[in-house]
Structure 1
Amino acid sequence: MTIFYKKLIINPIIVIYLMITAYIIHYTVTLSAFIETQNIIFRLLPLEVGIPEKA
């Protein structure tokens, strides 16, 4: 019976932990993707400005 009660207590904690970790992973992935897109935009802007200077 004690093992059963321990499992009942542990399971919600595991579920909450997994949900939090999944949310953090999702947030970091979206944030990194947003930063990558900004980096690509900032890399493309100097190229567009730099091409006329070279020519």
Structure 2
Amino acid sequence: MGASTALDIHRNTVVYRMNKIERLTGRPLRDHRTTMALYLACLADRLGGADPGQ
């Protein structure tokens, strides 16, 4: 199953969003270290580890 199918969005939307993430971070998503860092940041945010108000 592809990402667009799993997210129930068009394939071009997935490509657009991935390109936008690369532009914003300045790091390529094809680099496994980048994707792991972003994944861990999302997990930390979900678990309450990130507190932008502090």
TM over 0.5: no
Which of structures 1 and 2 has the larger relative contact order (alpha carbons within 8 angstroms, sep 6+)?
2
Query: Which is richer in helix?
Result: 1
Structure showing greater radius of gyration is 1
